[in-house]
């Protein structure tokens, strides 16, 4: 890449990191770390390289680039592979709200567009800066928005096919050039901020409601356990009803699991509130041990016991997400293993 080529590429991609940075600023709860954002960009770059190989092989087999492949097959392949990483993060409870899915998806799409625009250098060598800005900016925004849409729809409705259908349809329309390139870029620039602003408003409203409803319940039950008033609660009555079905030691582990789950749940929600208020969350050396104890207790009571505890310990996607968030926090705050130098004889 020559210096003259690098200028148009940078101009075409510059709005994308700027927009991604704006999304992170709007994320008042700091749900997505810088490390995860960078990882999503790198994954998008890797997916673009894979798609380049697939498309090159297809063009060689088809002896060209037929319009049906460029307009239909290539968009479907690219959107499915781009979305795979975001869908995996949702399925493994690493993304719990629309806002973090939107940021992760847009970052992956931006990484994809970066590699794709570099591969187009040879096709547009010597082209005017205006063409690069329209081509590069429009493509980058399209890729970022499409993967963000898949994440948003999959998080809010748990419907991956619907999100992929929308993303593939937008990509097909873009590749088939149903609108002039300038009109395509202008439409993306006009509509994308509005859509994502509405997503952020809805996501933060849902997060505040979830925090308010669950935090009060968790704290009240924890207070009852710590003050010796737990025996008078409905939760205690439910645990007593399980004595006829489980061994006493298993019921004891269930009580420990309930208390530890409440502590971790309250801790996760407290961390979010601190981030929203602008405070850094201090590392907790005991967090790793508590998470290991949680896993031990879950294995101890077994699958049947966990199902029996479902009325007391919520296991929604967002509840599982908060445990995964604590695990990431624990790994980030864990002290590095000291280096042992080799003793010289």
* pLDDT tens, position by position, 178-197: 777 777 777 877 777 777 77
Same-domain check for residues 105 and 143: yes
- Domain boundary (188, 203, 218) is at 203
Higher pLDDT, 175 or 197: 175
Whether 114 is in a domain gets the answer: yes
Same-domain check for residues 254 and 308: yes
Same-domain check for residues 109 and 248: no
Give 170: exposed, middle or buried? Use CB within 10 Å, 0-12, 13-18, 19+.
middle
Share of the chain above pLDDT 70, in %: 83
pLDDT confidence of residue 12: 61
For the segment 120-130, the average pLDDT, to the nearest whole number, is 65
Rg (CA), the chain: 25
Higher pLDDT, 318 or 141: 141
What dihedral do alpha carbons 25, 27, 29, 33 form, nearest 10°? -80
Which backbone phi and psi does 239 adopt, to 5 degrees?
-65, -40
Do the beta carbons of residue 87 and residue 147 sit within 8 Å? no
pLDDT confidence of residue 166: 92
Whether 125 is in a domain gets the answer: yes
Same-domain check for residues 149 and 281: no
Residue 247 has pLDDT above 80, yes or no: yes
- Domain boundary (161, 186, 203) is at 203
Whether 213 is in a domain gets the answer: no
Same-domain check for residues 36 and 175: yes
pLDDT-wise least confident of 36-40, 74-78, 82-86, 334-338: 334-338
Same-domain check for residues 26 and 142: yes
Write out the two tokens for 9: 């590429």
pTM above 0.75, yes or no: no
Whether 54 is in a domain gets the answer: yes
pLDDT band of residue 158 (cuts 50, 70, 90) is confident
Whether 212 is in a domain gets the answer: no
What is the tally of structural domains in the chain?
Answer: 2
Same-domain check for residues 169 and 232: no
pLDDT tens, position by position, 48-63: 999 999 999 999 999 8
For the segment 89-102, the average pLDDT, to the nearest whole number, is 85
Same-domain check for residues 256 and 170: no
| Domain range for 235 | 228-333
Mean pLDDT, the chain, whole residue set: 81
Same-domain check for residues 168 and 244: no
Whether 343 is in a domain gets the answer: no
Instruction: Choose among 205, 195, 188: nearest CA to 152.
Output: 195
pLDDT band of residue 76 (cuts 50, 70, 90) is very high
Residue 229 has pLDDT above 90, yes or no: no
- Domain boundary (203, 219, 238) is at 203
Residue 240 has pLDDT above 60, yes or no: yes
Same-domain check for residues 250 and 196: no
HEC readout, the chain? CCHHHHHHHHHHHCHHHHHHHHHHHHCCCCCCCHHHHHHHHHHHHHHHHHHHHHHHHHHHHHCCCCHHHHHHHHHHHHHHHHHHHHHHHHHCCCCCCHHHHHHHHHHHHHHHHHHHHHHCCCCCCCCCHHHHHHHHHHHHHHHHHHHHHHHHHHHHHCCHHHHHHHHHHHHHHHHCCCCCHHHHHHHHHHHHHHHHHHHHHHHHHHHHHHHHHHHHHHHHHHHHHHCCCHHHCHHHHHHHHHHHCCCHHHHHHHHHHHHHHHHHHHHHHHHHHHHHCCCCCCCCCCHHHHHHHHHHHHHHHHHHHHHHCCCCCCCCHHHHHHHHHHHHHHHHHCCCCCCCCCCCC
Same-domain check for residues 27 and 168: yes
pLDDT confidence of residue 160: 92
Residue 261 has pLDDT above 50, yes or no: yes
Same-domain check for residues 16 and 151: yes
């Amino acid at each position: 890449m020559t210096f003259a080529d690098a200028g148009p590429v940078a101009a075409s991609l510059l709005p994308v990191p700027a927009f991604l940075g704006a999304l992170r600023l709007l994320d008042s709860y700091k749900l997505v770390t810088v490390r995860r954002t960078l990882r999503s960009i790198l994954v998008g770059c890797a997916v673009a390289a894979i798609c380049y190989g697939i498309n090159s092989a297809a063009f060689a087999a088809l002896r060209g680039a037929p319009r049906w492949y460029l307009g239909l097959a290539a968009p479907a392949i690219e959107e499915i592979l781009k979305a795979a990483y975001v869908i995996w993060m949702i399925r493994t409870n690493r993304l719990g709200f629309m806002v973090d899915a939107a940021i992760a998806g847009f970052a992956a799409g931006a990484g994809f567009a970066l590699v794709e625009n570099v591969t187009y250098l040879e096709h547009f060598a010597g082209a005017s800066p205006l063409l690069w800005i329209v081509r590069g900016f429009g493509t980058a925004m399209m890729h970022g928005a499409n993967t963000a849409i898949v994440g948003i729809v999959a998080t809010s409705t748990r419907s991956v096919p619907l999100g992929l259908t929308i993303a593939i349809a937008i990509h097909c329309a873009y590749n088939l050039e149903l609108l002039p390139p300038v009109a395509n870029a202008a439409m993306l620039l006009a509509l994308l901020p509005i859509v994502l602003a509405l997503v952020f408003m809805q996501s933060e409203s849902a997060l505040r409601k979830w925090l308010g409803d669950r935090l009060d319940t968790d704290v009240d039950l924890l207070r009852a356990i710590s003050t010796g008033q737990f025996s008078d609660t409905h939760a205690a009555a439910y645990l007593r009803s399980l004595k006829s079905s489980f061994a006493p030691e298993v019921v004891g582990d269930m009580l420990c699991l309930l208390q530890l789950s409440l502590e971790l749940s309250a801790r996760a929600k407290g961390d979010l509130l601190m981030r929203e208020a602008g405070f850094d969350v201090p590392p907790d050396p005991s967090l790793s041990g508590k998470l290991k104890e949680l896993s031990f207790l879950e294995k101890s009571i077994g699958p049947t016991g966990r199902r029996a505890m479902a009325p007391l310990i919520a296991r929604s996607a967002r509840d599982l997400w908060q445990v995964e968030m604590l695990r990431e926090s624990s790994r980030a705050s864990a002290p590095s293993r000291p280096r042992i130098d080799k003793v010289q004889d």
